[in-house]
Amino acid sequence: MLKISRTTLSAVLLASTLLSGCSQTLDELHKVGNPPPLAKVDNPDAQPGYKPLTWPMPENAPPQKQYANSLWQAGARTFFRDQRAARVGDILKVRIIINDQAQIQNNTERKRQGTDQVAAPHVFGLQNKLMHFLPGAQDDPTNLLNATSTTDSKGTGTIQRKEQITTAVPALITQVLPNGNFVIDGKQEILINFDIREVSIKGVVRPEDIHSDNTVDSTQVAEARIVYGGHGQLMDVQQPRWGAQVVETLSPF
């Protein structure tokens, strides 16, 4: 059986950390003087890990009868042409409106007192000899052991949070579910002074929730996954260096 000493293991971990740190440093040096690159616009179906969404569906409705001379088309939402997104590849605009506020305050107080007493007045006549084997021998075996404990703990927690985001993102219909709902996927990147702002949204939208101007509110998107962030020089300054992150991860204190 192969045995690895702690010194060898520590050296291997240190070497791997230094190599990863050097690789990250080289990447950072390569970015000096250059703006961060934008991501390529690719087909969502060709992205690694992409899988069509499956969902519990009701039974398919029977096909509607269409008359040859009728001006009304089966399945149409309006008498005139509907300009809203309805097929795979169509684009709609998602209005992301987030205005969340949370305030939580918890107070906890707990007290506990306990007293234990062990006595041995009669132990088969050996109570007097027993005292010679115990530290701090006592003349009275009825007071063999006394234990008293007191616990007092108090906890206070307060959370105050306010988040407000208002923006709009074009999203692409990547799949039409059997019940007519749309699976959407939208991402937008904006380069501002060597910093990229990213906004993306994924989820499921009902056709009837899409407004006449081909927009839908984020509150109407089921299973919504909204990301609002970015990366660049400003974000790098706000993040601690990789050495500090390694020390913070490995430090047990």
Distance CA 89, CA 168 (A): 19
- Mean pLDDT of all residues in 167-176: 91
pLDDT at 199 > cutoff 70: yes
* Predicted pLDDT of residue 156: 84
Under 8 Å between Cβ of 188 and 200: yes
Domain residue limits, the chain: 163-253
- Mean pLDDT of all residues in 236-247: 71
Could you say which DSSP state residue 240 is in? P
pLDDT at 203 > cutoff 90: yes
Among the residue ranges 9-23, 156-170, 237-251, the one predicted with the least confidence is 9-23
Q: Between 233 and 184, where is the model more confident?
A: 184
pLDDT in tens, 85-102: 888 888 999 999 888 788
* Predicted pLDDT of residue 158: 83
Residues in the chain: 253
pLDDT at 161 > cutoff 60: yes
